Structure 1
């Protein structure tokens, strides 16, 4: 048999070495990573996504999940998505401001009133435009998962007013808007990778931090922090991201399945997150949780106009004004 006939029978072209029309779909294992705890709603969402993809693709597309900063800090995970070293990840939206300044708009303190206003912004034109804007920095934004409203915690005393924050050493995310806001409130803030935070709080490097109550509980911060002030100062979403080349490698059929699973997972994760704060509060009787009055909250928010202007100066007023208009509908 001649070589050309043999190759033809195998269904391979000589020039391109491509498969014949009877294409063989290869299995894909997506490396998915995050910095939160293995008990977090984000981890459970990745597990849900893995099961859904496995079922809907007959096991061809699955996830291998790396929780708790195993593959790096949140900033390092974003960089790994860009480089293709990690396929998927979710991180705090505040981290993305360092890669795409438009995300700083979500970091303005006391911007959102409630979850209804949050979802109108994130699920509408504004949020989808933000996700789309990640294309220009080598990332494909998929959805906004929920990290939740952020609260102030510390191990020193009950904090009810900015005056109570004077001089307190506080951990913030690596985000200049967050740092500026807490300085304006009188704290002494410094950034630190989230994966290093428990040890820093335990050793007294920091006396205070801020974040969602459910994450506080998942990370066992209640072992080293005894006071929570319910400030709801920032709503923190978890943008879900994928490496663009990985997404583009899917067939059109697989993209359709993947997009459907992403949407279902976002709904699943948000439902978990809504219940997670209540569960955390119920399981931390040793922590003093202080609900601030409207007057006390106003003492915090009244110090934020300069932060509003700082963000507008960085990214232009248009997106900030759009968000405020949507919230006030």
Structure 2
């Protein structure tokens, strides 16, 4: 009897442990169902709560919750709480994270055609970038991404990338010669700087401040909002307004999560995504001069680059790397 009792007790303990550690199975495998049927979705991004990413995420959350009458709620995880952009992009593909704000260059491994967005001096201005990404080219890229179980729910805006360094103001390719610079993972962008004679490398955003502080790299390039958000002005003296490449920030959603929505809710998610996209581009455009002034106040010396001085470098990049994306490049340049 004692042996039987011990067996029964052991079985009970095992079952109790299984119940405790087994994840909750979600309805349709997506979202987290509460007892009242409300589905909670997880949204990840990499920035602080003062950044445009977070403000856009809040607008998206508020509108989705309002227009679905609370059937869906969204929990936002800023500052890479759920992982790096690379990690959360993969998690969205697997369906373990529902929504994430990521960089366009992080999607190149899934769809190589996203590389076209990193071509130098491709977009004329914010309006050109907005109409392109929310038009035919954006639709083409998103459709290819859907084949990888990921879709763009909103084309958010990070802005045009600008150059900072501790050596001197940058006016021409010659000023970049020999400069150790951290750049985005876009191959076209790295080729641009290497063609200028710079020594380009990639360092994770979380390690960039320290790398600049220790002079592991002397320079970096980022949109103004990121320079402010990561306090790079504390370890960089010169800000050269180059606008050499545009960086979009797609808000991506697991296609399996999207497919679990009703037709009516799918329409709501896409409508809200488009509205938030417009807000993000307007905010980037309207805050551009304000951000420059803020960085001047922080002690940065600002100069403006004439893009025509980089024409030979740009031609070389397009000749070497752009031919494979010539159709998309032509569509983008023809877009008004």
1-structure distance, mates of 2:135, 2:318: 22
Q: 2:301 aligns with which of 268, 288, 291?
A: 288
Q: Which residue of 2 aligns with 1:252?
A: 263
Indicate which of 306, 313, 323 corresponds to 2:332: 323
Deviations 1:252-277 (A, max 9, x none): 22222222222222222222222332
2:275 to 249, 259, 264: 264
Deviation at 1:316, TM superposition (A): 4.2
Describe the superposition over 1:45-90 as per-residue Cα deviations: whole angstroms up to 9, x where unpaired. Answer: 1111111122222322121111122222222221111112211111
Cα offset, 1:283, TM superposition: 1.8
1:193 to 187, 195, 204: 204
**Aligned ranges 1:1-329 → 2 under 5 Å:** 26-284=37-295, 285=297, 286-292=299-305, 294=306, 297-313=307-323, 315-326=324-335
Distance 2:64 2:143 in 1: 23
Distance across 1 between alignment mates of 2:311 and 2:80: 33
TM-score by length of 2: 0.84
Q: For structure 1, which runs of at least 5 residues remain unmatched after alignment? A: 1-23
**CA gap 1:90/1:310 in 2 versus in 1, 3 angstroms:** farther
The answer on whether the counterparts of 2:154 and 2:270 sit within 8 Å (CA) in structure 1 is no
- Alpha-carbon distance in 2 for matches of 1:81, 1:282: 37
Cα distance in 2, alignment partners of residues 317 and 165 from structure 1: 28
Q: How far 1:208 moved relative to its partner?
A: 0.6
Q: What TM-score do the two structures reach when normalised by structure 1?
A: 0.86
- Change in Cα spacing, 1:316 to 1:267, as seen in structure 2 (3 Å) is closer
For residues 316 and 194 of structure 2, what CA distance do their matches in structure 1 show?
A: 12
CA RMSD of aligned residues (A): 1.8
Give the CA deviation at 1:201. 1.6
Contact 2:130 2:281 in 1 (8 A): no
